[in-house]
Structure 1
Amino acid sequence: MADRDVSSLFADYRYYGVFENRQDLSNLDNAHGLIRRPEIYGDEQYNGQRDWSRSRFDERSYDHIVAVSQAGAEHIARRLDRVAWDGWRCHVLSEKGRPFAVVMTKTGRELEFDGRLRVRWSKSDLMIRLPDEPSWSAEETDVDSALPAMAALVRQRRERHRAELTAGWALFRDPVDVLDLGSAYAVAVEPGGNTALPLDEHEAARLVPRLVVRNARRTAELIDGHHYLAVFDSLQDCAAVGTARSLVRCTPDEEHWELFVGDDEWPPTTRPYLEHTLPIGRPDLAEVIGKLASVTRNFDVISPSLGCVAHVELAPGERPGLALRQWRDRPTWYVRDRW
């Protein structure tokens, strides 16, 4: 599980396997849950068959939550796909040949999917009613084979509510991808012949900044041997580099991090795990540096053994003084923004 992308700030998601016992951690097949984290919050758990929902797992509970690579996450997801509906029967219900629901049944329990994404499965009595509905038919299949029908139900439901969904279109590379809004690759004003879903305001407000960050991560370029990342107060701010409140850079292996303090001064800093970051290219780099040079900034100088040894305020046009430069003679010291 020790791949670079376990903790990379350039990965689409950070993934975590959920285990019941510490002794299970060495084998991914022992995981009973999978979490993806798109930013510094918003954990989602995998329920099988491309179904992601808000995570119920708690790092303070009995569960052991461990970072895994993307390959490890795909391995766990395949296992959860196999066990999620173990013992259930799956039927695609149609009316006059047109599918209108996918129904799962198991010993007195019945759940249906009708195209809603936020509440994926709801209680159902459709199979009980089936004998009394002459225009209905049911085709038994396995849940993986039912995914195209489920995706079609999502598109049909969205089309019925088209007048309410006016915030743009999420674009997808594969028709089944519509089951997971997080797999969209763009948001556009019009569908343009692509596999697409119309969005409401809440969905678009959540998805657009995520895609800005994701696409920037995927296309991140090295500038003179470093990756540069602007730091923001919120995910929404990432859409406008001029709102950046800080700037960091790292080596290609993400092992060494430095903080921009002004006048081409780049002292060591910590990896910005709990910050909203956006990889930027050379044109945006100049804009962010210019913006930061025009505002008053505050810094803490940190000694691993002594803690904070200095608070420094740097006004626009002011060059870093001795207090901010003392890290040069103390290789274990570092500097971070003070908020």
Structure 2
Amino acid sequence: MSTRTTRSRTGGPATRDPRPERRGDGRAARDATTAAPPTAERTGTCGVSGHRPTAGTARSLTASSPPIPSTATPTNPNPLPPSGAASRTTAPTSTISGPTTSKHDARGVVRGGARSGYSLSPLVDGGHTAAMDPVTLKTDRLLLRAFAPADVDAVHEACQDQDIQLYTPVPVPYRRADAEKLVGETLPAQWAEDKDYTLGAFRQDTGALVGSYCLTLISRGVWELGYWAVKEQRGRGYSVEAARALCDWGWATLDVHRIEWWAMAGNTGSRAVAERLGFALEGTLRNRGIANDGKPHDWWVGGLLRP
């Protein structure tokens, strides 16, 4: 798995301003193929993650600020690629099931066939003219699907994490009623509006919730990637795997030429994930948004262009 403030997806506005102002959803996570840094890996507007920060909200962004100093266990020892580069590490083969198109088909979006290791189901109704139906994506280790009522307890428990509450705009305290509303009302409405697509990632071996991952429409052709990961599931590369699958689905299905990533400065876990996905750091916005701690924070922003 909103609005433009921070990623704790609660809904998306009808129109989006292309300027760096994010909506809030509450996506925090920190996950990389190597040991994750101490901060949460969160960004975007998926169910419980964060989009670009608008005044008064916190979000996780990528930055084009100075590179993070090397540590004993860096999540990504390689520097970011030049702006616009889409360097990609080896991605697990994934399969997409369910509808693969939306109203964006009218603009020449891929309608079927194979792409980027995915098997795209052919259209059965000639294409959607209004809303996108939730899809299911499968990677080597994960199953990405729409959140269901049975996931409420897992979402509620995950959002008790202090990093998620700092780096994403989830309500604090985060009550079970918040998770119920998110899963039962907010996320389904966002899919129906065709502007915000959130999927929960679950381990295939245990069924455990890994995190929430989403793509949110910012302006025509520009979408924002948001995510948060369950604390106990970080540091295993799950967020890279899930986010890459979602982005590849976006490239193949949506009218998109650019995907953005935002994170609060200091959220090195989120930044490590974005780096591994090939996002180029593009800037640091000073005192861009106010987090749940009531203080203004700098934000990082990054971009990934269509391969």
User: Counting strand residues as a fraction of each chain, which structure ranks higher?
Assistant: 1
Q: Does TM-score exceed 0.5, indicating one fold?
A: no
- When normalised by structure 2's length, the TM-score is 0.23
User: Counting helix residues as a fraction of each chain, which structure ranks higher?
Assistant: 1
